[in-house]
Structures are given as structure tokens and as C-alpha cells.
């Protein structure tokens, strides 16, 4: 009985420490496909675009839509790709410019490179947070 209470307590304490991250994706065009959302907790994972702490693939609808994640409070960055042709990647033209919509948390200014983790990083507090990502 004691071990059951201990396990239940540990599970409940993990739930109590989760914070809700709401990601609102704006300006989704009507080209169909899916939104690929990825939440990263480190610069290395961001650079390699591997090992997200959370991710979602949702059908893209024109306009705006939201996705929620339950995460421990901490420092994160979000990337969103509108994969209109459902090939699981951001397509680019012959000079490397994206041909599909994309966006990042904090909506950093566009440059001729991918946004950095530092530009996109934010703190998720215990009470939760809402991030708005405007697709480009």
C-alpha cells in the first residue's frame, strides 16, 4: 500500500509541475497539408533539428490555429513548418530560400539564415504561457 501511494504521489507531483504552452499559429495559407510544430529545449537540438521535447503534426487550416503542450517549466524555442505537400520537410528553391511557410517563437526578424535558438528562446513559467507564431 505504501509503495502504491509513493508511486501515485510521484506521478501526481510530475503532473503538478507541468506547465501549459499554448502555441497560436497565425497566417496559415490555404494550401492544405500539415503544420509540423517542434519544441526544443537546447541549442544543440535546435541546430540539428533533432530530439524535440514535444512535437505535433496537425492538419493545416487557413487562418489561425492553436496547439497545446504540457511541459515542465523551463527554457524552450518553437519552430513551425507548413508542410503543404506532406513530405515531412521544409522545401526550398534552388538558392535555398523556403518555398513553404515557416515561423518561430518570438517571431525574430527575417535574415538570410535560420533563426537561432537564442532569438527564439523563451521561459515557460509554471503558470503557463502563450506564444504566437506568424508564418512567413
13-69, pLDDT tens digit by residue? 445 589 999 999 999 999 999 999 999 999 999 999 999 999 999 999 999 999 999
Residue 105 backbone dihedrals phi, psi, to 5 degrees:
-60, 150
Residues 55-79: b if buried by 16+ CB within 10 A, e if exposed: ebbeebeeeeeebebebebeebbbb
Cβ atoms of 31 and 60 closer than 8 Å: yes
List strand residue ranges (DSSP E) for 41-99, in order: 54-59, 63-71, 74-83
Tell me the pTM: 0.86
* pLDDT score at 110: 80
3-state secondary structure at position 114: coil
Residue 17, domain CATH: 2.60.40
Q: Per mean pLDDT, which range of 7-21, 71-85, 93-107, 111-125 is the poorest?
A: 7-21
pLDDT tens digits, 65-92: 999 999 999 999 999 999 999 999 999 9
Tally of domains within the chain: 1
Reported residue count of the chain is 136
- Mean of the pLDDT values across residues 100-129? 95
Q: Identify which of 54, 21, 18, 51 has the alpha carbon closest to the alpha carbon of residue 36.
A: 54
Mean pLDDT across the chain, nearest whole number?
A: 90
Euclidean distance between CA atoms 6 and 10, whole angstroms: 6
Residue 7 or residue 108, greater confidence: 108
Domain extent, residue 46, equals: 2-134
Amino acid at each position: 500500500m505504501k509503495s502504491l501511494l509513493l508511486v501515485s504521489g510521484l506521478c501526481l507531483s510530475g503532473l503538478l509541475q507541468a506547465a501549459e504552452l499554448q502555441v497560436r499559429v497565425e497566417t496559415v495559407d490555404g494550401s492544405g497539408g500539415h503544420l509540423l510544430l517542434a519544441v526544443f529545449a537546447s541549442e544543440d537540438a535546435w541546430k540539428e533539428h533533432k530530439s524535440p521535447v514535444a512535437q505535433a503534426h496537425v492538419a493545416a487550416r487557413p487562418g489561425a490555429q492553436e496547439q497545446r503542450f504540457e511541459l515542465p517549466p523551463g527554457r524552450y524555442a518553437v519552430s513551425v513548418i507548413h508542410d503543404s505537400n506532406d513530405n515531412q520537410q521544409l522545401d526550398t528553391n534552388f538558392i535555398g530560400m523556403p518555398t513553404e511557410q515557416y515561423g518561430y517563437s518570438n517571431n525574430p526578424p527575417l535574415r538570410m539564415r535560420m533563426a537561432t535558438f537564442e532569438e527564439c528562446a523563451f521561459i515557460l513559467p509554471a503558470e503557463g504561457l502563450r506564444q504566437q507564431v506568424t508564418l512567413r
